[in-house]
Chains A and B, each alone.
Chain A
C-alpha cells in the first residue's frame, strides 16, 4: 500500500513538474505570436493576417464542422504511414545494428533514402498508387522510414560491449536481451528520431494531399490558395502545427521522460 502511494505521489510530482516546465514553451510560442502580429500590422490583412484573425477563422472552421473531418482524414493518413515507418524502421534498424555487415550495407542506402526528396517519392507514388489514400500513406512511410531506421541502427551499434558481455555472462535469454539491454539503450536514439519523423510525416502528408487528393488538410489548403484566402490558409497551418505540438509534448515527451528517468539530471 505504501509503495503504491509513493509511486502515485512520484507520478503526480513528475506530472506537475512537467506541466510547470511548460511555461517556458508557452512563453516562447507567445513571443512568436507577437512577432507574427507585428508582421501582420506591417504587411496588412491581405498578405499576412495576424494570429487573432487566423485563430478566429480556425474557430469558425471548427464551428461550421469543416475542420474536424479534414483533420481526421489527414491524421489517419499520417498515423498509418508514420505507424508503419516507426514499427518497420525500428525493428529493421535494431536488427541491422546487431550485425556489422548489415550496418555497412544499409549505411549508404539510408543516405540515399534520406537524400531523396519526398516530392520525388510523391510523383512515383502517384504513378504507382493513383489518387487514393495509398499515395500519401506511402509517401509518409518512405519519407519517415530512413530517419527511424538510422536512429535505431545507431542506437543498437552504440550499445557498450561491456554490457553485452554482462548479458552473455549471465545467460540472458533472447527476449530479455531485447527488453532489458537493447531497448532501454536504443530508446534514447529512437525518441529523437521518432519526433523528427513525426514532424516530417505531417509536412509530407499535407504536401501529398495538396497535390493528389480531394480531401484532407492539404486539399483544403489548395482550395484556400485558389481563393487567395490567406486567413484560412494560416488557420489550417495553425491547426496542423497545434496537433503536432500536442502529440509531441503531451504524448512523446512524457513517455520519453518516463523511459529515460535513469539518466543523470544534467542532461536535461
Chain B
C-alpha cells in the first residue's frame, strides 16, 4: 500500500525556525487534516510534501507518484479556458490533446460545470466555478495523493458541502490519500480520518485525534458534537489562543501516536 512517511522534519527561513521535528504518516485511502492557527507552518509543511520547498532537514519516504494540488485561491492560468486549465496537469504528463480535452470535459461536467462554462476564461467564471475548475484540475491527473491548502475557506456552505461530496467520492473510488489544511475544525471533523493539531513558534505537532467513525455514518449532529468536544481539548484551546497557557509539546514519537479517540 502506498504511503508517505515523514520524520524529523525541520525547516528554517533564514534564522527563524518554522518547523521543528515534525513527523507524520499518511496511507492510501486516508484523509489527514492539519489544523492550527495562522503561522504554525501548515502551509510550509504542505509545500514540502508537494515538492515546492526543500526542507532544511528531513527524512521523507513517499510512494505516491501522482500528486494533485488545490491551493487556497483557485490559481487558474488566466490565459487558459476552463477546459484547458483542467487539462493542465494532463498536458504536462504528455496526454495527447484530444484525449486530455475529453477527460477534462468529463471531469468538468461531473464537477457541475456546464459545457459553455468550460469554454470561458477564468475571469468570466464566478468564484465558486473557479474552485470547481481548480478541484477538477487536481483530480484530472488521477492523483494518489491530494494536497489541499484551505481550498474551501472562501466558499459558501452549500458549495462547500457539494465539493466535500465530490472529494469524498474521489477518495472512495480511487483510494486517494488526502492531506488537507484547514482552520475550520468542523470541516476537519467532517472529512478527516485523523486530525493533527499544530502549534506555532516553531511549528510542531501538538496532538493527534483519531476519528474512527466511517465518513458515511457521520451525521451533522455527530459533526457538531465532535467539534464541540475537540474544542474542549486543552491543546486545541491553547493552540488557538482560547485559553492562556503553555503547551508542553516536547513529546517524542510515543506521545505523538498516542492520540485519543474522541
Contacts and interface: CB of A to CB of B under 8 A. Distances in A.
Interface string A124-167: 00000000000000000000000000000000000000110110
Chain B interface category by residue count? 20 to 34
Contacts of B50: 169
Given A262-B78, A262-B79, A168 B92 contact: no
Interface in A242-268: 262-264
A173 B91 CA distance: 10
A176 B93 CA distance: 11
A173 B51 CA distance: 15
Nearest to A168: B52
A169 B80 CA distance: 17
A185 B79 contact: yes
Interface string A94-125: 00000000000000000000000000000000
A170 B47 CA distance: 13
B88 A180 contact: yes
Contact of A171 (B77, B80, B92, B137): B92
User: Taking chain A's interface residues, is the majority helix, strand, or loop, or is none over half, making it mixed?
Assistant: helix
B73 interface: yes
A264 B78 CA distance: 10
A47 interface: no
Which of B52, B80, B92: most chain A CB closer than 10 A?
Answer: B92
A39 interface: no
Given A162-B73, A163-B75, A169 B52 contact: yes
Contacts of B52: 165, 168-169
B67 A169 contact: yes
B151 interface: no
Given A169-B50, A169-B67, A170-B69, A163 B92 contact: no
A83 interface: no
B71 interface: yes
Contacts of B79: 184-185, 262
A181 interface: yes
A166 B80 CA distance: 14
Contacts of A11: none
Contacts of B71: 162, 165-166
A169 B67 CA distance: 8
A105 to B, nearest CB: 24
B77 A181 contact: yes
B147 to A, nearest CB: 8
A39 to B, nearest CB: 46
A163 B76 CA distance: 8
Contacts of A180: 77, 80, 88, 91
A23 to B, nearest CB: 28
A72 interface: no
B64 interface: no
A74 to B, nearest CB: 36
Interface string A172-207: 110010001100110000000000000000000000
Nearest to A176: B92
B121 A262 contact: yes
A184 B147 CA distance: 27
A59 B92 CA distance: 56
A143 to B, nearest CB: 31
B92 A166 contact: no
Nearest to A181: B77
B24 to A, nearest CB: 19
A81 B73 CA distance: 44
A173 B92 contact: yes
Given A169-B51, A184-B79, A176 B91 contact: yes
B121 A170 contact: no
A-B pairs, 5 with minimum CB distance = A184-B79, A169-B69, A262-B79, A170-B89, A262-B121
Given A166-B75, A169-B147, A262-B78, 16 more contacts: A166-B77, A166-B88, A168-B52, A169-B50, A170-B88, A170-B92, A171-B89, A171-B93, A172-B88, A172-B92, A180-B77, A180-B91, A181-B77, A184-B79, A263-B78, A264-B123
9 contacts: A165-B52, A168-B51, A171-B93, A180-B88, A184-B80, A262-B78, A262-B81, A262-B123, A263-B78
Interface of A: 162-163, 165-166, 168-173, 176, 180-181, 184-185, 262-264
